[in-house]
Chain A
Amino acid sequence: MTTTIVPSPLRTAVDVSGLRKGFSTGRTRIEVLRGVDLHARGGEILLLVGPSGCGKTTLLTLIAGLLDPDAGSVKLWGQALEALNAEEKTAFRKEQVGFVFQQFNLIPTLTIRENAAIPLLIRGLSQKQALDRAGAMLEKVGLGNRLTERPGKLSGGQQQRVAIARALVGDPKLLICDEPTASLDGETGAQVMEILRSNALQSERCTIVVTHDQRIFKYGDRIAQMRDGVVESMQDAPQSASVRAIAPAALG
């Protein structure tokens, strides 16, 4: 059977418009985001690229509702973040958002299964349910035989896979990755992206990946180019068609 369907038209998942954000440090004030417009769809991996300091990370934190914009709006599946209070935003993240960081941010004193279970524990699942599901997720990222080890025993690539398992275990609708391969060598980075590609794609899920790493461009569907606090251009990723062809298998 090859007649799998790419969901189409893909629903708008993330809708950012006119987003502005500045920071004051002492007497000086820098305008980091100067009117960002960005649309990302469910079922795609959107790469966010641009020179250092252009505001990529800042944009991610605003999309995740970790910071509030000075102006403009962020809508996630039609829900405007500015309409939510701090508690509601936290609750929204708990249910809908997964994170992968450059620095992994695993808790070194916990086993990798406990680390991967955290989003479910935050949601209030029982210890057993959470650990079972985390174990199954770690299995998917190829770490099923190391569940009770601590992160420190693992290589960088393996740790990032744990972080991906943690980000995906709660099946979030939005997956936010800030330079997930920047701490890894080329080959390991590619492996991590393969895993992200084959596990993250779901018809509803939108994955946004900030990266500098040209070698992983091929794992995205579209690339948003940022410069000086705005999204300058939006284009299809190289080989995106071929990559997308493997997507339906993951759409389940």
Chain B
Amino acid sequence: MFRIALRMLAGDTGKYLALVLGLAFSTTLIVQQGSVFTGLMRRAATQVESVPQADIWVMDGATRYFDERRAIEDTAVQRVRGVDGVEWAEPIFFGMGTAQMPDRTFASVQIVGVDRAARLGLADRFEDGRPEAIAEPDAVYWDHLNLDIYKQVRTGTTLEINDRRARVVALASAPRIFLSTPTVYTTYQRALAYSPGTRKRLTFVLVKVKPGHDHGEVAARIAAATGLGAKTRETFFWDTVFFYLKNTGIGINFGLTVLLGFIVGAAVAGQTFFTFIMENSRHFAALKAMGLSNRTLVLMVLLQALAVGVLGWGLGVGAATLFGHNITDRSVVAFLLTPQLLAISFLGTLVTVLLAGGISVRRVVAVPPAVVFR
């Protein structure tokens, strides 16, 4: 009888399509919007992820997330190196600056300064130029994030950053960050020169933990020994993501879109399924007259519901994946399809079809088989 159930469903082409497409639509919306959302949220902490060699980030003790930075003393690097379990520690500088463009317009830029020897945090993908020339005087990499407004800057362009000369030796291509400020990569010393100020100018100390040591424990030891803040890479990443989630409303705004789409898709699919079952209630009654048990009837209807659910979900995920298929961490559009999203969308679809199936099946079971004689 289960094959018959599926044949009944597929035979009603119009409703079958409406059902599957309705569910596919709501799935696409959940998965696509969800992926854009996770993609964007990941960008909030891209820079933490982009130094995979560092197990621990050391910072000012009051720092809550990546974009909130207070400089620490340069001597912190030495002190961190002395902590048990630390394999190596290197400085990195993050700061803002103003770049005077060749056409006399200017751009706010993010300055990243890395240790010349360790090169930790330096861009490693390039569109153009001579990356090895970073050691030459005034050399910088320029990352215009694929934004057209900054494309006037090329390899060989000379800029002024905070009134100091900078020569672009290569165009970098790093994963996109949350903001649309271009990034200027240079050596640590040159970055300090671009950012005149107090004796405290070090932003973070990047730490590699010795094999066999627990990252969390070493981070706690560093914090205790130096009086600074120390977070594992994962903690820092998630602290940053959740800071934006909590404080920007981006989560709620995306959530509302997704919820609305889900409700519309689910309502359409649920209503269509209910109509389908009601239109067939006479046939179900005939089957009951012929001796079909209520148990089998319930299973048949739930199978029909599950069948459209799984198919609709599959198509929806397919469509969303197609949408995200050319999107990388360098693209303007963000897209990150996580297993959690797949699970959530599947659960959403499952709840929809089981609810519709459950409501419909109650009605069908209540239809007395004697109606087939009417």
Chain A residues engaging chain B, CB cutoff 8 angstroms: 57, 60-61, 64, 66-67, 87, 90-95, 97-99, 101-103, 105, 107-110, 114, 118-119, 121-123, 127, 150, 178
Contacts and interface: CB of A to CB of B under 8 A. Distances in A.
A61 B368 CA distance: 11
Given A66-B369, A99-B372, A105 B291 contact: no
A93 B290 contact: yes
Contacts of B288: 90
28 contacts: A66-B289, A66-B368, A66-B369, A90-B293, A90-B294, A91-B291, A91-B293, A93-B290, A97-B290, A97-B291, A99-B286, A99-B289, A99-B372, A101-B286, A102-B373, A105-B286, A105-B372, A107-B8, A109-B7, A110-B4, A114-B4, A118-B1, A118-B4, A118-B287, A121-B4, A122-B290, A122-B292, A127-B3
B291 A119 contact: yes
B283 A107 contact: yes
A92 B289 CA distance: 11
B33 to A, nearest CB: 35
Nearest to A56: B373
Interface in B25-39: none
A210 to B, nearest CB: 9
B370 interface: yes
Interface string B286-305: 11111111101000000000
A78 B368 CA distance: 26
A119 B290 contact: yes
B42 interface: no
B103 interface: no
Chain B at the A interface: mostly helix, strand, loop or mixed?
Answer: helix
B283 A105 contact: yes
Contacts of A99: 286, 289-290, 372
Contacts of B11: 108-110, 150
Nearest to B3: A127
Nearest to B8: A109
A119 B280 CA distance: 18
B136 interface: no
Contacts of A91: 291, 293
B291 A93 contact: yes
B233 interface: no
A110 B280 CA distance: 12
Contacts of B282: 105
Contacts of B296: 122
Contacts of B68: none
Contacts of A105: 282-283, 286, 372
A99 B290 CA distance: 7
Contacts of A92: 291
Contacts of A178: 373
Interface in B260-293: 280, 282-283, 286-293
Nearest to B292: A122
B12 interface: yes
Interface in B167-182: none
Contacts of B7: 109-110, 114
Contact of A122 (B1, B10, B373): B1
A104 to B, nearest CB: 10
Given A99-B372, A109-B7, A127-B3, A94 B291 contact: yes
A126 B368 CA distance: 28
A222 B36 CA distance: 77
Contacts of B287: 118, 122
A64 B293 contact: no
Contacts of A150: 11
A61 B374 CA distance: 11
Nearest to A124: B1
Contacts of A67: 368, 370
A231 B62 CA distance: 96
Contacts of A61: 370, 373
A95 B282 CA distance: 21
A118 B290 contact: yes
Nearest to A107: B283
B289 A93 contact: yes
B326 to A, nearest CB: 40
Nearest to A60: B373
A101 B372 contact: yes
